[in-house]
Structure 1
């Protein structure tokens, strides 16, 4: 099989391993005596809601609402699907979060709150607390997304500035809470997945202020004053581990990056290609992580160590990009452009990197592919890879070469998938 086709098929195998329609039905709880309210958010929320409706026992009341990014919706019957902006919060998402909170307040102890959360839920549920405006929250979010902060750091800020994140949704429920989670974070921590609407939050206001100062974020004087006051007083904290509000709350992770990487590894193994899994928790600057991957590929290609080709290097996690240029990027495209430069046309080495949600950054592609002739083709059409990498403009590079990988929204999200095929 063509190496590029192998890489694409392995990517789709990884995505399919996290398909909510296949996974959710196996993890549903028993219906309660009363009503079941479904509340969800994230890139997989609509597919998860659809899966619940398909499998929920007949005769048991089911209603609710989920919020998902624009273009990720699906037709449902009793669970309302609302689309809002991602990764920056908008009015639609904020209004939906308030509506969800009102619905949860109406539950009784005989009812059930069924949560459906996946990556992307944080920004979709970022309805600001009363002392913060939506415009202020948007400005902070925009800076956090460009400064190189990790998703865990971004979520610490979001949890404290939102009315439902950081365990606040569960704290509002008198009914038992059962949440199904599709993990897009490297540690599979329920408090980080969609910023943990139903999970205890160990972070503090002090950490929020420290992050804003560390990354030199620009905030309004009133917001700065509020943060200092809350840090000094310790009031209005998110509910912490051990809080009694979580005595009847369960968060269950049903899909992870590890499961998807394992499925991809088996895909290659079935085709007599040795899979070498580098891990599902790889983080750091995309361009620097690419250099590390290139060094491993070089060792295998030239010295057959630790394995003789054909070998597939597989990794997951979520790299970051500190944006200094004004180009169109995406962390997976930036990883690949840096990798292509580091490999410098190495023979028989191909690679794919893509986000399992189908969206690399803010663009419409999931990722891209590189081949041994990538740099030669770029030179032939007058495209300068180093200049575009410095401008954080990897999307333009791969678009010019027609090497973007476009899947459309996959309605799941277990973070990034990277595969380097050494033939």
Structure 2
């Protein structure tokens, strides 16, 4: 069963390979410039170059990821660094130089928020510290990006405002709901959030960053231009298509399991909220299926995706998928097989994609309490010997959770 869980995950990754997804949706015209940013940027760009031949391009990847023989700028993720700043400045310079007759192909995937960082009204150090605090606060990706967009000269549609060219974007979604304005903080897409809403996020999580607050307060008073809004005429120059989503990933695993003769159901591709609360929900659902056969009959596989959050108060290491599994272990009354992983191959700061729960983990008799208290899900699954290590997968289609209810 453990091998089947892993195979379902790897089959899903193979079926949603960014190269193939991109190749199928490339426009018929030859672009004058290709911009690629995010964790799937290299295979997406390789698809464009194989289709069009050599064209001018700019590629930005997370440090440690393979560039597939392409010229690339490597920057830090999820917290931006100096290379993120250089990459964003280079892209803005390229965009400003284009004429209204030129066409840009933008290949955008998750991770772009950190990889293109052009701070507005704050220092890079402030932006880095605020990003880190937001990620530890338990804020949703929509809340995090509302703040990042309003402290940026490239996010929230400002990349589109920086150019006169026509832009066609192909997007790989790593956000629940697949909102283009949230993927990589929407550099070419309209932003429905405001300075006031971004400021409210800081208030909600008790984050006191003086530079950021001063800038957001000025914007909320109407002293600064807003991000690109849905009614802006610049949007006449934008077209886009979602080429890959979390639902594609989950359906690929479901279809594989069905071909193997198993019953499998996708619960949702947009589960969010706190990882521990999400684990409790899954545990209660498993309990109802086991006890009463409702709302679904056993045996079957349950698949879910989306993106959970973790409020970090301890000193341990881990990620939202490891935290989910650890809390699931704590809530379940009887053992089961489960796998949870980040499709990009790196869950939080754990350096693992995720982990597996098996009856063998329960047999060890480990107490989840101290590990949960320290947010040390990595420590727990290291002790259990059930970490799933893949290295960077070259894609980013959000979280993957698979439970077998027997």
Q: What TM-score, normalized by structure 1, do the two folds share?
A: 0.93
Alignment correspondent of 2:242:
253
* Aligned-residue offset at 1:234: 4.9
Mapped partners of 1:164, 1:374: distance in 2: 46
Alignment correspondent of 1:71:
64
Mapped partners of 1:218, 1:208: distance in 2: 13
**Residues 1:422 and 2:399 aligned together:** no
The DSSP-based 3-state class of the residue aligned with 2:316 is: coil
Alignment correspondent of 1:160:
150
Q: How does 1:232-247 map to 2 (within 5 A)?
A: 232-247=221-236
Unaligned runs of 5+ in 2: none
Q: How does 1:11-410 map to 2 (within 5 A)?
A: 11-32=9-30, 36-56=32-52, 58=53, 62-77=55-70, 80-129=71-120, 131-220=121-210, 222-346=211-335, 349-377=336-364, 379=365, 383-410=366-393
Please report the RMSD computed on the Cα atoms of aligned residues, expressed in angstroms. Answer: 1.5
* Aligned-residue offset at 1:343: 1.6
* Aligned-residue offset at 1:371: 0.8
Mapped partners of 1:342, 1:227: distance in 2: 41
* Aligned-residue offset at 1:319: 0.5
CA contact (8 A) 2:150 2:216 kept: no
Mapped partners of 1:419, 1:135: distance in 2: 39
CA contact (8 A) 1:50 1:74 kept: no
The DSSP-based 3-state class of the residue aligned with 1:284 is: coil
CA contact (8 A) 2:61 2:67 kept: no
Q: Deviations over 1:231-260 (max 9, x none)?
A: 112522111002011111012110011111
- Greater shift in the superposed pair: 268-277 or 158-167: 268-277
The DSSP-based 3-state class of the residue aligned with 1:230 is: helix
Unaligned runs of 5+ in 1: none
- Greater shift in the superposed pair: 326-335 or 109-118: 109-118
Mapped partners of 1:233, 1:300: distance in 2: 53
* Aligned-residue offset at 1:63: 1.1
* Aligned-residue offset at 1:227: 2.1
CA contact (8 A) 2:150 2:195 kept: yes
Q: Give the length in aligned residue pairs.
A: 406
Q: Deviations over 1:252-275 (max 9, x none)?
A: 110011111111111111122211
The DSSP-based 3-state class of the residue aligned with 1:11 is: helix
CA contact (8 A) 1:184 1:256 kept: yes
CA contact (8 A) 2:353 2:391 kept: yes
Mapped partners of 1:259, 1:75: distance in 2: 24
* Aligned-residue offset at 1:178: 0.4
Mapped partners of 2:381, 2:264: distance in 1: 26
